[in-house]
Structure formats: C-alpha cells, structure tokens
Structure 1
C-alpha cells in the first residue's frame, strides 16, 4: 500500500487541473532532504509529470514544478533521469531565452543543477530549427541559432532585468561554471564565436566586481578558473588583448589599502590596477578571492605564464594581500603563489608541486553545488 505522501505524488498525473495543483501545493516542501525519495514512487513517474507541468501556461504550476525538479537534482539518480531527457533539456534551455518567461530564473537554477551531469554537453548541439514545440525567440535580440550563445546573451545583456522584467539570469553563472568543467565547455569560453566575433570569456569578466550579486561573481570566478585548466592555452589567453584576462583576476583581490607597492612595481601592474581609487575594496567573500588566487596558481603552471605574471608585478600585489588578510585559505594560496614566482626556474621549466590534471578529468575541477529552492 502506498503511503499518503506517495499517493499525493500519484495525483500529479491526475486529469483534473485542480487536483494537480493541490498536489503541487503540498509537495514542494517535501522535495528536499530525505522526503525527496517519495518522488521515486511508481518508477519515478512523477518526474515525467513534473516535466509536463513545467510546460503549462499557469505561472504557479510552472514555478512549483520547476522548483521541485531543481530540488530533486540533489539526488544523483533523479538528476541523471531528468538530464537524460534530451528533448526536455533542449526545451528548458530555449525556454530560458524566451523573454516573456516569468519563470526564467528558477529554470536557470534547474539548468545549473542539471549541469552536474555529462549529458549537459548536449547543450552545445542545440540549434534553432523548425521545431514548433520550442518556445519563441526574439531575433532582434538573439543573433545566433545556437542556444549556448543565446544563454550567454541572456546573462550578459539581461543582468538588470533589461531583457526580461521577470529575470536577472544570475544563476546562469553557476551553469557556465559547471559546463566549463568539460573540455567542450572550456573550448567554448576561450574561442572566438562566429556569430559575434567575440570570445565568450571576455563577456563575463566585467561581472567579477559586480558587488551587488554574489552569485554572479562566484559563478564567473569559477568559470574563469575552470577555463584555465588546459595549460597549453595559457599563452594565447594571457596575450589576447580582446580577452585582457589578468586585470579581471587581480582587481577583485586588490584593495586601496595595499599601499606598500613601490613606484616601479606599481607602473608594471596592468593599467587597470594602477592608482586605485581610495574606496576600492577587495571582494568581501573569501571563497571568491580564493578562486581568483587559484586561477593565478594555474597560470603559474608554465614558465611563460610565470614570466608573464612577474612582468606584471603580480608578486608585490600578492605580497600586500598576504599582509592584510586573516583567512587561512587565502593566506596559504598567497604563500604558494609568492613561493612559485620568487624562486628560480627549474631546468625543465616545470613546477612540480603545482596542481595538474589531465584534460579529461572533469570531476576534479571546480563546480558549484546543487541549488535548493525553498
């Protein structure tokens, strides 16, 4: 005999809209923690019911069903089941880009949670075609027929609800962080795109100092770091003026209080770091600062990367940071960077103790956690 909760789950596929709504009203609170297991009742039929409800016209139905799906991603089996539905993944990706979608932000949370699965790589293949089931797309805003480009446009152009008054698309930063764990994702972020001639990573950098959005800063910092896991790309990224990466790694970790940098070192810093205003503060979230420090450590993997950082006075900047922080993780990363930059070069040009990783070991790179919605 099914329990009362399992019976309630079975009401999600009732032919009566009122019954489905009552079921949703009561089930949202059970979609996190141990009680989430009730959604596995009857061979996980609830997952298909919830995906169907997320395509309804009712804002309440959509938001509640997507909230449940997002929360269920904390369960590996259920997350894998949702992500394996390629047609739903395609619909969800395009639906976020529908500029009249009142649930775009909660759908961004779901998409970012699904990005823990390898199946998310399918998003790079989704192109606009003649599929009448897909949501409409505003061609005056979106110039690409690839959904990954349109999601990037949503994030960059829609940050202050300028595209969709119902959404700020902040959680797409976590989605970008997770897809950059995969080689295909890293390639996307560092390669110039045909539709606009711009390197996607360069579009994200401005958000490293958006201090009114921790989510954006955190996701972008992780995306930057993950994009640097392939050391053979470092020279091109560092020297590409279209990207201009280094200042956007250094600015969040710099403060006007870091004043003991001599004049020669000061003017070797990137232009953006010279003569900082008196109100310039360091990112207030230690974990985000650590992400940027880890990006610098990755850039220290090659001899040319270390020489580049030395030429840009990264050592004195990190030295000042080390003097002015109390967080142990930040202090440890500063010590490691200073140790690498200030010692002599080994004969083979490699620094043995620096973290290294094979290109296909995606599970070792940084990823954002599952976002639960209350």
Structure 2
C-alpha cells in the first residue's frame, strides 16, 4: 500500500484543483531535508506535475509549486530534468520577462539555481516574445538581453512592482563561468551597442544589497578569465573597469600626494567617511579580479601606472582577515617586482632579484 507521503504526491495530478491545493499545502514542508526524496516517486512523476502546475492560473498554486522546485534544486538530477526540458525553460524565462508576473522573483531564483548546471548556456540562444506592454520596455527579443535589462532597470521595482530581480546577479555570475557566458558579458551587443559588463559595474558599491554586490563582483572576476579582453575593459572609457574594482576596497585613509594623482579620477580625494565593502568575502573577490588583471604584462603595467599599490597598501593596514591579507601579499608580489626585459629568456631555476619576496611598506 502507498504511504501517506506517496498519496500526497499522487494527488498532485488530481483533476480536482481543491485536492491539488491540499497536496501542495502539505508538500511544501517536505521539499527540504531527507523527506524531499518523496519527489523522486514513480520515476520523478511529481516533478512533471510541478512543472505543469507552475503554469496554473492560481497564484498560490504557482507560488507553492515554484517554491518546491526551488528547494529541490540541490539535486543535480532534478536540475537536469528541469534544464533539459526546453519547453519548460522557455516558459520559465518568458514568465520572468513578463513584467506583470507576480512570481517573477521566485522564478528568477529557480533559474539561478538551474545555472549551476552546464546546460544553462542554452539561454544565450533563447528568444522571447513580447506583448504590447513588454515591447515598450525591451528592445531585444534575446532572452539574455531582456534579463540584463530587468536586472539593471528593474532593481527598484520600477519595471515589475512584484520583483527586484536581485538574484539575477548570481545567475550572471554562474553564466560567466562558461566561455560562452564570458563572451557575452565582454562583447558589444548589437541591440544597444553596449558591453553588458559595463551595465553591472555601478552595483559594486551598493552596500545595502549583498546579493547584487556579490553576484556582480563574481561576474566581473569570471569575465576576466578572458585575458585578451583586459586592456579593452581597462582602457575603454565607456567601460572604465578599474575604479569599480578599487572603490569597494578603498577606505578613508589619506594617500601620499605622489600616488594620489596617479589614481583613477574616481579614487582621488575620497571623503573622510568613505567606507569599504563591509564583507571580507566580497573584498576577496575584488582582489582576485586584480590578480587576474596582473596575469598579463600590459595589465600589470596599467595597474602600476594607476597607483593600485597605494590602495591595497592601506587595505593591508586596515584588515585583520587572513584571506584578505594573503591575497594582498600575492598582489604585491605581482605589482612591486621588477619586470624582466621583454626579450629576456625565462630561467625558472634562477634566484634572480625578480624572484625575491617583496614586502608591503
């Protein structure tokens, strides 16, 4: 005989909405912890039911179905079942883009959870359809362009009064782990002639929103694994990447005048109440971005010209976090050592001055 829980999940495909609602009311609590295995019942039949119920017209039923799917996404297999369903994924993204959707944020969280799987790259080729309302907001039918617009323009609920789209920051961070994703973020887009990464930079100092800061800083870092793009991101005035990495790690300390006017304009003469990012974990991400910029000689020389060492030296004095201090030390070794002549042969066994440890002074 079926157990009580098995009966509950069987009720998900009842033809009677009231029965389905009772089932959902009870099952939400079982979507976390060891009891979530009940959703594997009968070869994952409950997952098929939940995907169908997400399309229901009842707000409560949709909300509960989404909540269960979000909670089940710690399972690699369930993520794959959802992600491999092209029709479901198209519907999910279409509904996130629907600026009248009251469940848009919950759907965004589900999409973000699914981005842990490699197959999320399919979204870069996905198109959405716009009704009369949406066509006034979006210039592109590419799903990724619309998601970018939602994140940038909808953060204050001005596009959708039910959604702030914060979790797209983590979605972008996961998407940028892949070559195709990185390429999107650093490439001028035809629909608005803007490099997508440049739209995200303003959120690196949004200290009242950890999700946006953390997701955007990770997207920046992941995009910098494309070393060929470094100088464009640094030198193109429309992007101007460096200040957005340095401002969150800069404090109120006075900088020597010799260094002050070599800093990017945005870092000069900071106010006495200037605050660093309050989270060491996010400061670490920015330091890792600077380390990535140091992987090419032109990048290192650019950071030296912009007196980056002056900023990280003050950060070193102010921090008591071991991971931050370790990253600073690695960065100092990259920035403060003398460069070998460009035509010199590299001797990996040499004890030359270039290999000596540089102290932070």
Match of 1:251 in 2: 247
Q: Secondary structure at the match of 1:139?
A: helix
Give the equivalent residue in structure 1 for 2:62: 62
In the alignment, is the contact (CA less than 8 A) between 1:97 and 1:137 conserved in 2? no
Alignment of 1:27-46 (within 5 A): 27-46=27-46
Post-superposition offset of 1:53? 0.8
Partner residue in 2 for 1:212? 208
The match for 1:199 is 195
Find the counterpart in structure 2 of residue 371 from structure 1. none
Unaligned ranges ≥5, structure 1: 353-374
Identify the residue that residue 179 of structure 2 maps to in structure 1.
183
- 1:231 shift after superposition: 1.3
Q: Distance in 1 between matches of 2:225 and 2:191?
A: 26
1:94–1:135 Cα contact (<8 Å) kept? no
Is 2:135 the partner of 1:139?
Answer: yes
User: Which of 290, 305, 308 matches 1:311?
Assistant: 305
- C-alpha separation between the residues in 1 aligned to 2:62 and 2:285? 35
Report deviation, 1:136.
7.3
Whole-Å Cα distance in 2 between the matches of residues 266 and 68 of structure 1? Answer: 53
* Equivalence map 1:189-338=2 (5 Å): 189-256=185-252, 258-259=253-254, 261-338=255-332
Are the aligned partners of 1:50 and 1:69 in contact in 2 as well (CA < 8 Å)? Answer: yes
* Deviations 1:13-45 (CA, angstroms, capped at 9, x unpaired): 111101111111111111112111110000001
Q: How do 1:54-203 residues align onto structure 2 when only pairs under 5 Å count?
A: 54-128=54-128, 138-203=134-199
- Say which SS state the counterpart of residue 95 (structure 1) adopts: helix
Contact preservation (8 Å) 1:91, 1:135: no
Cα shift at 1:3: 2.4
Q: Distance in 1 between matches of 2:114 and 2:341?
A: 45
Q: TM-score, normalised by structure 2?
A: 0.93
Root-mean-square deviation (Å): 1.7
Name the structure 2 match of 1:356: none
Q: Which residue of 1 aligns with 2:352?
A: none
Gaps spanning 5+ residues in structure 2: where?
349-361
Spell out structure 1 runs of 4+ moving beyond 3 A.
Answer: 134-137, 346-350
CA distance in 2 between counterparts of 1:135 and 1:347 reads 60
Deviations 1:60-113 (A, max 9, x none): 111111111111110111111111111111111111010110011111100000
Is the Cα–Cα contact under 8 Å of residues 268 and 313 in structure 1 kept in the other structure?
yes
Q: Larger deviation: 86-95 or 219-228?
A: 86-95
| TM value normalised by structure 1 | 0.89
